[in-house]
Every structure is written in C-alpha cells, then in structure tokens.
Amino acid sequence: MAATYENDNIFAKILRGLIPCHKVYEDDDAIAFMDVMPQSDGHVLVLPKAASRNLLDADPAVLAKLAPLLQRMAVAAKAAFDADGISLMQFNEGAGGQTVFHLHFHIIPRYDGVPLNAHGRGMEDPEVLAANAGKLRAALAV
C-alpha cells in the first residue's frame, strides 16, 4: 500500500507555527525557509502549503502554482549569494533520499569547482541562518 501524508511531520509543524523557522517568504499557497543543515550557504527550502508527501502524490495544480516561486527564489539566491549557479533538488520517498515527508524543493547556491556539503550534515549556527534569510528576503524584494 502506498504511504500516505502524515500531518505530524516537521514541516507540517512549521506550517502550523508549532516549530520556528528562518522564514524567507510566505503567501497563501507557499512558504520558504532556510534549511537548518545547509549544503551550501543560502540553502533554502520552498514548500507548497497543500499537503502531499512529495512529487508523486502532489496535485498538478499545486505544482503549477509553485513553479514561478521556485524560479523567483532561484534567481534571488543566485544574486544574494553571488553564486555561479543553482542546484534545484527534490527527493521522493526514503529510497529517493527524502527524509521529511511534506513536499519540498531545495534551492542551493553553487560555485564553480566547489562540491556540496553532505546532505544532513551538522546544524548551522542560527545567527548565520538568520543573516542568510535576510539576504534572501532583500534579494526577493528587488
């Protein structure tokens, strides 16, 4: 049987305001906040608010509405962190590398010749995350 959405996952709790996050952006349909274990400075997560485990069970209409925000956030992240490129990553189910089961997209600033930090390595200093969220918010406002 296919796994179903469970509303006690950590991102669902962030969406309900039960757990804090370093928020970058929010509207009626989506939220973006800093990844607490960034694979590169400025690693930000973009989530639709609608409940789905991942891409496999998402409503296509939700995906269509989210796509422009992914582009906007990628452009902002490239500018805010003076990156050479952006990796957009998204994992589906444990076998696909997913660890939190509410659909989310990783937007990660990249630099020529610089490998990514490991997925899920140590927690970043909250002051660094707050500063990076501020840089992204400023870049989004341009």
Secondary structure class of 10 (helix, strand, coil):
helix
Binding characters for ligand AMP, 55-74, by CB under 6 A (x = yes): --------------------
Question: Which of residues 10, 63, 79, 88 is near ligand AMP by CB under 6 A?
Answer: 10
- CA–CA separation, 41 and 72 (whole Å): 18
Q: What are phi and psi of 68, to 5 degrees?
A: -60, -35
Please report, as residue ranges, which positions from 71 to 130 form the binding site for ligand AMP (by CB under 6 A): 91, 97-100, 120
Sole window of 1-9, 35-43, 79-87, 131-139 interacting with ligand AMP (rule: CB under 6 A): 35-43
The active-site residue, picked from 22, 43, 104, 106, is: 104
Dihedral (CA of 83, 105, 70, 131) sign? negative
Q: What burial letters (b/e) apply to 65-76, b meaning 16+ CB within 10 Å?
A: bbeebbeebbeb
Question: Which of residues 9, 23, 36, 58 is near ligand AMP by CB under 6 A?
Answer: 36
Region for 7 from its dihedrals, namely left if φ exceeds 0, alpha if ψ lies in -120 to 50, beta otherwise: alpha
Kindly tell me which of 7 and 99 has the beta carbon lying closer to ligand AMP: 99
The verdict on 21 binding ligand AMP (CB under 6 A) reads: yes
Nearest approach, Cβ of residue 102 and ligand AMP (Å): 9
Token output for 127: 């002051």
Is 102 catalytic? The answer is no
> What residues act catalytically?
104
